[in-house]
Amino acid sequence: MRPEPGTLLGGRYELTNRIAVGGMGEVWRGRDTVLEREVAAKIMKDEYLSDQGFLARFRAEARSMGAVSDPGIAGVYDYGEENGSPYLVMEFVPGESLAALLDRGPMSEADTLSIIAQAAQALHAAHMSGVVHRDVKPGNLLITPDFRVKITDFGIARVADQAPLTKTGQVMGTAQYLAPEQATGKGSTPKSDLYSLGIIAYEALAGNRPFTGDSQVEIAIAQVNRQHPPLPETVSEPVRRLVDSLLSKQPEKRPASGAALATAARALMNGDVPAAEAAVPQMLAAGAAAAAASEAVTRVFSQPEDSSTRVMPATQQTRAYQPGSHTGASAVAPYGPDGQLAEDPEAEEDEKKSKAPAVIITILVILLLAGLAWIGWLFFGPKDDEPDPAPTATATPTQKEITIKPSDYIGLSEASATSNLEQLGLKVRSTMVTSNESAGTVVDVREGSNGYTFAPGDTVTIEVSEGPQRQEPTRAPEPTREGEPTRNPQPTQEPEPEPTQPPDDGGDDGGDGGDDGGGNGNGGGNGNGGGNGNGGGNGNGGGKGNGGGSNNGSGPGQNSGRGGN
């Protein structure tokens, strides 16, 4: 099924717009037409529908998220299938990802500690339910407008009472936030999630990640071998020690649990350093350990033990946690009753072997080269989010090209698309264009010189909508006011014609004036017609034509006028 706006899932959830693209599926914003609320729907990609391993992992995500109930974790509402495509309906979280916030620059100590405290508390709830996230990164931490943290995307989480869905030694997670034990394929524990939180804290305070490289393999090797650079001097010393304890290469030197980390972070927010050190005693030794770690120590990678991923007996699964435990450890990994990792006889044996005499240095060098080749195979061989091909003995060479699909990014927010592309090792340039899409939405991805295939470090240009072009509205004509009748035009009053004075041609003209006066009601009498002045008056016409005028221009007047002439 190819989701699109208007698609109805389960006859209930209507999709509106795509908000993200993940490894296994797409995440859409939608509406629950029954409860009238917004939801987020994750739909598996079509190319993975025939792979039973991916189907099992998708269902496992629904179970792992459904097993945890905590305000700091996005809740799961429903699971189903539509036209053969599995979907997961989750709580819709308004706001943006932490990755988008970090793109704008470093954060303050107070904001960083608040995020770490909230995320650690939520992860502790997951750990106590037997779930290890295994992919904690800024893109999976959503920040609401009121600055609450919601953890999402448990797509590769491991549940304590389930058989592992990954192969022994398979690397899971994102290299930039991967714990050393994950990078070497030795499996993950709750403390692996805490290490990832340490990377996030470092990035938020410093404005950059502690470990970088030209490839995922190089970054993973740095996670194992290199000590992180010191945080800026602007970061307070207690906060630096807390971050140093999180980034310890040995899990047992990290905070005991997410709850302990949350307590320490909140104490530092309040300026209570002793309370923070009481919650995380590892802070006391972190400063000295960070100073001593300046010596570069090269470790030889050995093939991961099967014990790191083997399923424990059922009796162990039913007692994943001991009273008073601070780790929230799952039954898959061996933990002691005090919440610390139990001693592994096989690991002790490996440690003894690492102290071999100098005569076998040459062999160790060979093993180191083999280990590097093996890590390359782990990262570029079978992947968690791709169908597992049959394993071969040949290591996969380092990937030199990155091919992207524009459809994976069109419709995403600018921040989400930028974060996804940067995680592939690409740089991103945004160009604003006018579009009918909402402002901030990616509407196109431009081709490079080699189409949509890029080398690591290349720049990809995305076109981002700035919203529809604004048009000046056409002014509507003024409406005729109701209630006021249109006034009828006043008739033009025709002016009364000024009487034309006839030329002085004697009584004959005066007689004519008398004729006019007799014909006109207005001119008769003493006024205009045969009046005393204008008609056959005494001066002009001669004679007394006025006498006839007094009879309103009647016959006698006329006769008198003419007689005057």
Phi, psi of 560 (to 5 degrees): -65, -40
Q: Is 500 exposed, middle or buried (0-12, 13-18, 19+ CB in 10 A)?
A: exposed
In whole angstroms, give the CA distance from residue 517 to residue 544.
16
HSE-up of residue 270 (Cα within 13 Å, Cβ side): 10
HSE-up of residue 158 (Cα within 13 Å, Cβ side): 30
What are the beta bridge partners of residue 453?
Answer: 403
Contact criterion met (CB below 8 Å) for 384 and 192: no
Catalytic residue status for 306: no
Catalytic position from the list 32, 70, 111, 135: 135
Q: What does the longest C-alpha to C-alpha distance in the chain come to?
A: 168
Write the CB contacts of 527 (distance below 8 Å, at least 6 apart in sequence): 517
40: closest CA among 77, 66, 6, 10? Answer: 77
Residues 369/371/372/377 CA torsion (nearest 10 deg): 130
The DSSP code sequence of 138-181 is GGGEEE-TT--EEE---TT-EETTS--SS-TT---S-GGG--HH
In whole angstroms, give the CA distance from residue 556 to residue 408.
115
The residues annotated as belonging to the active site are: 135
